[in-house]
C-alpha cells in the first residue's frame, strides 16, 4: 500500500484535450488575460494549463466606445467590442514571447465571415507556438460575426467543418449560452469534427442607469460574466457532457478551486478562468493548491478520474417548477 | 515586480465629511512606487463589489530609518467600493495590487514644476511633490475645490517647500473661482523660454481646461486620467483612452498600461468629454 507521502506526489492534474496534453486543467479565458504577455511579470505563464489569448480577427479592430464594463451583483457586463491587434501583428509581436515564456497558447479566433475564420486559422497554423484554436462563435457584443454562427446549428457546423479542413491544429468551438439548448450545439460541433468544445461565453444582458434612464454601456447590451453566472454554466456543462464524448472546457464564474472542481465534476475536462482574473490576478497557484488538496483528501490519483463524476440519482426535469 | 498584498489597515483618518486617508502596510509596493503610479484595491473576501478600484498611491510612508513600509490612499466616498474603504477599520484588510502604470516624469532644475489638482485629483501629487522637491525643482501646487474645507493636506505640501496657489468656487479660500485662474496668472508671468513642466489630475473638464490654457502658452501637460478600470493589468481592455497617434489617427489605448499619465496633446479630448 502507498503511504500518504508517496501518494501525495502522485496527484496527476494533467488534462487531455484531443491531441493536446495540458499540465493542469487551468486555462486563462479569452479576453480576460490580454495576450498573456501583459501578465508575464506577475504570473508564470508556463505554470498554467494554457493561456487563451484575446479574440483575433484578420485585421485590427478599435472596439466600442467606453464605458465598456459595468459591475452587477457578483458579476459584470462587458461590451469591449473585440478591440484587437489582428492575427498578423499577434504572430509577429506576441507569439514569440509566449513561446519563450513556455506558455501553452490557445488562440481565440474571430470572423465576420466563414472565410475569415479559415484565414485567421491558416495564419496561426503557419507559425510555431500555437497549441490550438478556439473558435469564437459566441461573442454577444459585435454585429457582424461570431454569434450568427453560434446561434444556428448549421452555421456552427459549417464553421467547425471548414476550419477543421484548413488546419492540423486542434479546433475548439466556443459555445454561446444564449440559445435554448446548448447541448445540441455541442453535438453538432462534435459531428463536424471539433476536438473539444468550450462553454460558456457571456450571457447577453443589459443594465440601465435609472437616474439618467440611459443604458450603462455605450453598446447598450453587454455580456454577463463572473460568479453570478456559475450555476447556469455548470448546468450547461453537465447537459453537454451527456450529449458529447469530446472534451469540454468549462467556464463561467470560476473564482476558487471549489468552483473549478464543480465544473470538472459536472463534466469539464479542463476549466477556464475569466472575470476572477480581473480581481484576483494571482489566483493560479491557489487554484492548483486547492485542487491538489481536494484530490489528496479524496484519495483520487488523477484529476481526469473526476471528470463528469457527479452522482445524480434520479433526474426528472419536469419537476423543476417555480 | 507587481505584487498583490492582503494589506493590513494601519490607520484610517477622516479628513472631512467624505474624504479619508487609508494607510496600508505594503512595504513591497512602497519600495517600488514611483510618482503617479496606482494600485488596484478592494476590501478582502467579498464579491460586492466584484472588481477592484484603481487608486493613486498618495503617500509613501517611511519608518524612522527611512525604509518605505506603507502607502496611503486618498479616498472620496462616492459609491459602493469607496464607501467600504471609508468604513474599513484599522487592523482590517484591503487587497492591494501594484505598483501599476506609467508614472509622471519629474523635471529637474532649472525647470519649474506646476502641479494642478482638482478635488480628489490631489492624490498623485504628494509623491510627485516629494520627487520634485528632492531634485531641488521649484514646485507650485495649484489646487481647486468647491469650498475651503475641501482643500486637503495644504500644510503637508507647504512644510515640504511646495508653493500653494489655491482656488475655491465659493471664494472661501484662495482665488474665488476655478484653479485655472491662478494658473493663468502664473503662466502669463513666465516667458516662453522659461522651462515649466505641468502636471494635472482632477475631473476631466478641469484637465481639459488646464491643457487648453497651457497649450495657449505653447506648453504641454502630463495628465493623469482616471477612467473606469477592470483589472489594472492590461487584461480586459475596458479602461481605454482615445489617443491620437503619430499619423494623427485616433485609437484606443489601455490606460492601465499606456497611462494613467498621458501627454495631454495626444488625448482626443472631444471623445473623452463625450
Ligand atoms: C472583458 C471580457 C472580454 C471577453 N472577451 C472574449 C473574447 O475575446 N473571446 C471570447 O471567446 N470570450 C471572451 N470573453 C468571455 C470569457 O472568455 C468567458 O467565456 C466568460 O467571461 C465567462 O467566464 P468568467 O465568468 O470566468 O469570466 C470575455 C469576457 C470578458 C469579461
Put simply, the answer to whether A281 touches B97 (Cβ < 8 Å) is yes
Ligand 1 atom 29 nearest Cα: A31
Cα torsion through B147, B148, B149, B150, rounded to 10: 60
Cα distance between residue B23 and residue B7, in whole Å? 9
Coil/strand/helix, residue A306: helix
CB-ligand 1 contact for B236 (6 Å cutoff): yes
- Tell me the β-bridge partners of A284: none
Q: All domains of chain B, ordered by start, with CATH?
A: 3-100 (2.40.30.10), 112-226 (3.40.50.80)
pLDDT for residue A141: 59
Coil/strand/helix, residue B74: strand
CB atoms within 10 A of CB A254: 30
What average pLDDT does this structure show over B252-274? 94
Testing ligand 1's pocket by substitution, the residue of A109, A274, A277 carrying the most ligand atoms inside 8 A of its CB is A274
Instruction: Report residue B223: phi and psi, to 5°.
Output: -105, 145
Interface test with A, best of B40, B50, B254 (most A CBs within 10 A): B50
Residues of chain B contacting residue A227, judged by C-beta atoms under 8 Å apart: 47, 50
* pLDDT tier at B246, thresholds 50, 70, 90: confident
SS3 content of chain B, % helix, strand, coil (to 5): 25, 35, 40
Residue ranges per structural domain of chain A: 4-310
Coil/strand/helix, residue B97: strand
pLDDT tens string B199-233: 999 999 999 999 999 999 999 999 999 889 999 99
Number of CB pairs, chain A paired with chain B, less than 8 A apart: 93
- Does the model's ipTM exceed the 0.85 cut? yes
pLDDT for residue A296: 95
In 3D space, the residue among B42, B31, B115 whose CA is nearest the CA of residue B83 turns out to be B42
Whole-angstrom CA distances from A228 to A94, A180, B148, B231 are 33, 19, 44, 18
> Prior bond to B120 cis, omega within 30?
no
pLDDT tens string A221-245: 999 999 999 999 999 999 999 999 9
Whole-angstrom CA distances from B155 to A6, B84, B177, B186 are 64, 27, 21, 21
pLDDT for residue B123: 96
- A75 has a chain B CB within 8 A of its CB: yes
Ligand 1 atom 10 nearest Cα: A30
Whole-angstrom CA distances from B146 to A306, B56, B173, B213 are 61, 21, 10, 20
Residue A32: active-site member: no
Question: What is the number of the ligand 1 atom nearest to the C-alpha of B230?
Answer: 1
Residues of chain B contacting residue A33, judged by C-beta atoms under 8 Å apart: 235
In 3D space, the residue among B112, B169, B170 whose CA is nearest the CA of residue B141 turns out to be B112
pLDDT for residue A321: 56
What average pLDDT does this structure show over B153-163? 96
Would you say the C-alpha torsion A278, A281, A286, A287 has a positive or negative sign?
positive
Q: pTM value?
A: 0.94
DSSP per residue, B3-40: EEEEEEEEEEEE-SSSEEEEEEE-HHHHHH--TT-EEE
CATH topology of domain A4-310: TIM Barrel (3.20.20)
Residues of chain B contacting residue A63, judged by C-beta atoms under 8 Å apart: 237, 240, 252
Cα distance between residue B129 and residue B122, in whole Å? 11
Q: Which of A110, A139, A151, A240 is catalytic?
A: A139
Cα distance between residue A240 and residue A249, in whole Å? 11
- Tell me the β-bridge partners of B141: B115, B164
Whole-angstrom CA distances from B227 to A151, A172, A271, B38 are 34, 35, 31, 13
Q: What are A132's three cell numbers?
A: 490550438
CB-ligand 1 contact for A124 (6 Å cutoff): no
CB-ligand 1 contact for A28 (6 Å cutoff): no
CB-ligand 1 contact for A25 (6 Å cutoff): no
Coil/strand/helix, residue A43: coil
Q: Which residues of chain A have pLDDT under 70?
A: 1-9, 139-148, 316-322
In 3D space, the residue among A149, A128, A130, A123 whose CA is nearest the CA of residue A138 turns out to be A149
CB-ligand 1 contact for A267 (6 Å cutoff): no
pLDDT tens string B6-16: 999 999 999 99
Percentage of residues in chain B having pLDDT higher than 70:
100
Amino acid at each position: 500500500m502507498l503511504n500518504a507521502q508517496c501518494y501525495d506526489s502522485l496527484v496527476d492534474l494533467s488534462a487531455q484535450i484531443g491531441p493536446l496534453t495540458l499540465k493542469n486543467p487551468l486555462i486563462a479565458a479569452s479576453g480576460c488575460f490580454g495576450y498573456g504577455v501583459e501578465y508575464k511579470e506577475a504570473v508564470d505563464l508556463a505554470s498554467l494549463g494554457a493561456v487563451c489569448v484575446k479574440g483575433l480577427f484578420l485585421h485590427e479592430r478599435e472596439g466600442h466606445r467606453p464605458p465598456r464594463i459595468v459591475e452587477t451583483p457578483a458579476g459584470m457586463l462587458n461590451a469591449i467590442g473585440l478591440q484587437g491587434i489582428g492575427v498578423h501583428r499577434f504572430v509577429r509581436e506576441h507569439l514569440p514571447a509566449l513561446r519563450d515564456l513556455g506558455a501553452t497558447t490557445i488562440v481565440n479566433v474571430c470572423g465576420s465571415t466563414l472565410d475569415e475564420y479559415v484565414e485567421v486559422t491558416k495564419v496561426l497554423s503557419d507559425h510555431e507556438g500555437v497549441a490550438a484554436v478556439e473558435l469564437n462563435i459566441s461573442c454577444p457584443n459585435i454585429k457582424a460575426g461570431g454569434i450568427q454562427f453560434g446561434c444556428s446549428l448549421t452555421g456552427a457546423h459549417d464553421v467547425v467543418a471548414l476550419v477543421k479542413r484548413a488546419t492540423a491544429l486542434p479546433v475548439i468551438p466556443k459555445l454561446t449560452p444564449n440559445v435554448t439548448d446548448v447541448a445540441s450545439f455541442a453535438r453538432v460541433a462534435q459531428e463536424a469534427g471539433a476536438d473539444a468544445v468550450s462553454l460558456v461565453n457571456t450571457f447577453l444582458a443589459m443594465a440601465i442607469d435609472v437616474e439618467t434612464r440611459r443604458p450603462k454601456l455605450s453598446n447598450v447590451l453587454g455580456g454577463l460574466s463572473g460568479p453570478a453566472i456559475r450555476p447556469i454554466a455548470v448546468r450547461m456543462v453537465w447537459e453537454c457532457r451527456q450529449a458529447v464524448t469530446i472534451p469540454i472546457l468549462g467556464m463561467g464564474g470560476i473564482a476558487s478551486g471549489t468552483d473549478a472542481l464543480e465544473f470538472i465534476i459536472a463534466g469539464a475536462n479542463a476549466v477556464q478562468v475569466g472575470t476572477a482574473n480581473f480581481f484576483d490576478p494571482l489566483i493560479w497557484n491557489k487554484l492548483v493548491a486547492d485542487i491538489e488538496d481536494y484530490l489528496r483528501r479524496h484519495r483520487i490519483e488523477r484529476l481526469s478520474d473526476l471528470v463528469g463524476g457527479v452522482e445524480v440519482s434520479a433526474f426528472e426535469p419536469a419537476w423543476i417548477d417555480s | 515586480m507587481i505584487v498583490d498584498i492582503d494589506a493590513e489597515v494601519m490607520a484610517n483618518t477622516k479628513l472631512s465629511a467624505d474624504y479619508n486617508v487609508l494607510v496600508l502596510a505594503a512595504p513591497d509596493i512602497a519600495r517600488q512606487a514611483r510618482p503617479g503610479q496606482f494600485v488596484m484595491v478592494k476590501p478582502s473576501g467579498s464579491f460586492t463589489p466584484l472588481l477592484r478600484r484603481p487608486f493613486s498611491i498618495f503617500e509613501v510612508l517611511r519608518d524612522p530609518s527611512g525604509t518605505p513600509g506603507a502607502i496611503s490612499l486618498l479616498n472620496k466616498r462616492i459609491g459602493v467600493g469607496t464607501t467600504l474603504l471609508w468604513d474599513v477599520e484599522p487592523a482590517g484588510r484591503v487587497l492591494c495590487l501594484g505598483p501599476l502604470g506609467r508614472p509622471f516624469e519629474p523635471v529637474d532644475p532649472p525647470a519649474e514644476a506646476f502641479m494642478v489638482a482638482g478635488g480628489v485629483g490631489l492624490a498623485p501629487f504628494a509623491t510627485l511633490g516629494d520627487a520634485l522637491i528632492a531634485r531641488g525643482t521649484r514646485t507650485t501646487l495649484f489646487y481647486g475645490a468647491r469650498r475651503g474645507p475641501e482643500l486637503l493636506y495644504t500644510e503637508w505640501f507647504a512644510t515640504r517647500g511646495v508653493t500653494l496657489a489655491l482656488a475655491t468656487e465659493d471664494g472661501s479660500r484662495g482665488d474665488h473661482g476655478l484653479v485655472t485662474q491662478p494658473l493663468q496668472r502664473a503662466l502669463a508671468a513666465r516667458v516662453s523660454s522659461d522651462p515649466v513642466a505641468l502636471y494635472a489630475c482632477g475631473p476631466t473638464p478641469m484637465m481639459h481646461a488646464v491643457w487648453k490654457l497651457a497649450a495657449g502658452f505653447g506648453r504641454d501637460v502630463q495628465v493623469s486620467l482616471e477612467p473606469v478600470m477592470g483589472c489594472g493589468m492590461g487584461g480586459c481592455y475596458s479602461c481605454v483612452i482615445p489617443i491620437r497617434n503619430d499619423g494623427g489617427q485616433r485609437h484606443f489605448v489601455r490606460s492601465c498600461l499606456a497611462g494613467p499619465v498621458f501627454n495631454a496633446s495626444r488625448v482626443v479630448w472631444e471623445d473623452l468629454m463625450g
